[in-house]
Structure 1
Amino acid sequence: MDDEIICIGCGAVLQSDDPKKAGYLPAAALKKAEAGETDNVYCQRCFRLRHYNEIMPVDLNNDDFLALLNSLATKKALVVNVVDLFDFSNSLLASLKRFVGDNEFILVGNKFDLFPLNSRQSRIKDWMRQEANRMGLYPSKIFLISAARQKNLDELIEYLDQASQDRDIYFVGMTNVGKSTLINAIIDKMGDIKDVITTSRFPGTTLDRIEIPLENGHHLIDTPGIMSTNQLATRLNAADLEVVSPKKPIKPATFQLLPGNTIFLGGLGRIDYLKGQSTSFTVYAARGVKLHRTKTANADDFYQKHVGELLTPPTGENYLPALKGQEYHTDYKSDLLFGGVGFVTVPKDCVVKTYTPDKIGLGIRRALI
C-alpha cells in the first residue's frame, strides 16, 4: 500500500494495533508519522534497542526462523541454544543438528537460580549433555545461568568474547526460554565490564534477526524464538503463564503417599500412585501452582468439579486440552517431568501415572536433587 510507513530500523510496516507484532508504534506517534511531522521513524522495538539496549520479543512466523537456520551451515558461526531448565526436553532444538554444519554449538541452560540451593551443577550439566547426545546433538560446552538475575554470566561472557574474535555468534531457542533477556544481560555486563559492545546504535536490525555489533567487527545475533505445540507455555494465557513461571527458588513440598493417592499440580498436572510402598513424593513447582492430594478413585470427579477454581492454574474457565496420562515404573530415584510446570521426585520401585493437558511435557529422568 502506498500509505504504508516503514520502520527505518528493521523494515517492518508500522502499526499501532498489536504491541507483540513487528512494527508496533503507539497510536499517537504513528499519527504524527502519517502526518509527516517526524522523520526517520522507528518502531517501538527498534527505538528501545537504540536508546536502551533492550531487546523486545516480537511474534514472527516459524518459516522465517527456519530459513535463518538453514543458512547457518554456510556461515562461520558459534551457535548458542538457550534452553529452559524447567522444560529442557521441549526447549532443546533437536532439529538443530541439521543446520549447524561444521560450526561449534553450545548449550546455555537458563533459570538455574530457581533450583534449590543444594542442586549440583555438575549433575545437571551431565544430564543436559546426555539428553542432547540422545537427540544427536553434541555441545562443546554447557553453561548454567540465570538471565533474569544475571547470575553465572561471567564465564559465559568470557567464552563468547573469545569465540567472537573470528566469527559471529547466533543465539537460537524456543519461545519463553529467556533468550532475549539473556542477550540484554550480556549487553549490560559486557558493556560495563569490558566495553566490548558498541552501544550507541544497532545498525542492520532486520525482521528476522537483530545484529548487535562488537568492536572486533563481528556480531551477536538474536534470532526470533520458535514456537512449538510441545511447550505448555505456548498454550497458556498470559495470566496463567505468569503464575507458572517461577520468580524465586522453588521450595519443595513433600507428600507421604500410599498407592491409590493422587496429587494435582493445579489443573495442569496430575500424578497417580499406582503400586509401591508407603513413601514420600516431593513436588517442585512455582509457588503459585496450587497442590492438592486426593484419592485416585475420586480424582476424575475432583478435577471436573474444581479445575479453574481450587485447581489453578488455569484460572477461570478451563481452555486447555483434556488431561492425558503416561505410566512409568521407576527403576531408580527419579524425577517425573511436567514440562513448563515443574517435576516430582519419587523413589525407585514405584509405578505411577502422570498427566498433563494432551500429555504435553511429560517425561522421566534420573533424579537431579
Structure 2
Amino acid sequence: DKKKIRAGNRNSLKTAVTASPLPGTTLKFIKIDLGDGRTLYDTPGLLVPGTITQLLTGEELKVVCPKKQVEPITFRVSSGKCIMIGGLARVEVFGDCKPFLLTFFVANDIKLHPTASDKVDNVLQNHAGTMLTPPLGDGEKRMEEIGEFVNHDIEIEGRGWKEAAADISLTGLGWVAVTGAGMANIRVSVPKGIGVAVRPPLMPFDVLDVGARYTGAKAVRKSTKSKWGNKRRRGVGRK
C-alpha cells in the first residue's frame, strides 16, 4: 500500500513555508502541495500606502498583527473622554452629544486606555512605551519617529443600543464599531497619512457580547471570561 503523506510532511520535503508579520517578505510565487491533487499558491503581497504598519518596527508589528482570534472590547464613552489605542491612535467623543458605545476590534496585545481628552498629551509623554504599547522601547523617541498626528472628525447617526451604526476603520490597525442613539461626534487621531474610513458595520451585534465599562477611573469588565470561554485580555484600562 502507498504510504499516506500528510500535507505538512509533504511540504517539509520540498520547501519550508514560514509566516511573518513583516510586510513584503514573499518575493515570488510559492507553490504548496496540499496533497490529493490540491495546490495552494502563496503570492507576493502589496505594500499598501496609508497603513500604520509602515511606521512600526519589527517587534511592534508582532504586537499589532493578531496572532489569534480578536476579542472585541466595548467602552461606554461620553463627551470629553477618549480611548487610546496604545500610543498609535485615539478615538474621542466630543461636542454636544450623548454617550456612545465604542467597540474596538484590534489585536489582543494592544493596550487600550480610557482617559479624559484633555489629558492625552500628558499620558503620552509619561507612559508611551510602558503603559501604552505599542510603541515599544523608548516611548518618547518612538513617538517622535512616528511623527505628527492629525484629527479626523466624523458624524455618525446611531441606530439604537442593539446594533452598531457604523465601523471606523484605521488602516493597518483595526476598526471601531459605534453604537448608540442620536448623533455621535467622533474624533479619530492617527499619525499623518494613515487612512481613516467609515463603512457599514461588519459585526454589528458583537457590542452586546463582550465589554468594558468606563467609570472615569478604570475599565471594568462585565465578567472574567469571554463568550469563547477564555480569560479576557490584559492591558485594558488603568492598572
The residue number in structure 1 matching 2:14 is 52
Q: Which amino acid aligns with 2:157?
A: D
Alignment check: 8 A CA contact 2:100 2:184 kept: no
Asked whether 1:305 is paired with 2:131, we answer no
1:326-341 paired onto structure 2 within 5 Å: 326-332=152-158, 333-341=165-173
Query: Per residue, is there more helix in 1 or in 2?
Result: 1
Task: List per-residue Cα deviations over 1:162-205 (Å, max 9, x = no partner).
Answer: xxxxxxxxxxxxx838978xx76x7232xx121x66xxxxxxxx
Alignment check: 8 A CA contact 1:325 1:355 kept: yes
C-alpha distance in 2, partners of 1:55/1:250? 24
The alignment's TM-score, normalised by the length of structure 1, stands at 0.43
1:1-150 paired onto structure 2 within 5 Å: 52-54=14-16
Aligned length: 178
RMSD over equivalenced CA pairs, Å:
3.1
Alignment check: 8 A CA contact 1:309 1:315 kept: yes
The residue number in structure 2 matching 1:368 is 202
Q: Which amino acid aligns with 1:351?
A: N
The residue number in structure 2 matching 1:358 is 192
Question: Post-superposition shift, 1:244?
Answer: 0.5
Alignment check: 8 A CA contact 1:323 1:358 kept: yes
Alignment check: 8 A CA contact 1:355 1:362 kept: no
Task: List per-residue Cα deviations over 1:125-160 (Å, max 9, x = no partner).
Answer: xxxxxxxxxxxxxxxxxxxxxxx9xxxxxxxxxxxx
Question: Post-superposition shift, 1:350?
Answer: 0.6
C-alpha distance in 2, partners of 1:365/1:334? 6
Task: List per-residue Cα deviations over 1:235-267 (Å, max 9, x = no partner).
Answer: 211100001000111101111111000100101
Alignment check: 8 A CA contact 2:24 2:47 kept: no
Determine which structure has more spread, i.e. the larger CA radius of gyration: 1
How much identity, in percent, do the aligned residues show? 27
- Structure having greater relative contact order (Cα 8 Å, sep ≥ 6): 2
C-alpha distance in 2, partners of 1:56/1:255? 37
Query: Per residue, is there more strand in 1 or in 2?
Result: 2
The residue number in structure 1 matching 2:79 is 259
* Structure-2 change in CA distance of 1:50 and 1:299 (3 Å): closer
Asked whether 1:314 is paired with 2:131, we answer no
Task: List per-residue Cα deviations over 1:26-79 (Å, max 9, x = no partner).
Answer: xxxxxxxxxxxxxxxxxxxxxxx995334679xxxxxxxxxxxxxxxxxxxxxx
Question: Post-superposition shift, 1:310?
Answer: 1.3
Task: List per-residue Cα deviations over 1:308-331 (Å, max 9, x = no partner).
Answer: 221100102213122221110013
For structure 2, the 5+ residue unaligned runs are: 1-10, 159-164, 204-239
1:167-178 paired onto structure 2 within 5 Å: 176=23
1:115-264 paired onto structure 2 within 5 Å: 176=23, 187-189=32-34, 192-194=35-37, 224-264=44-84
SS at match of 2:176: strand
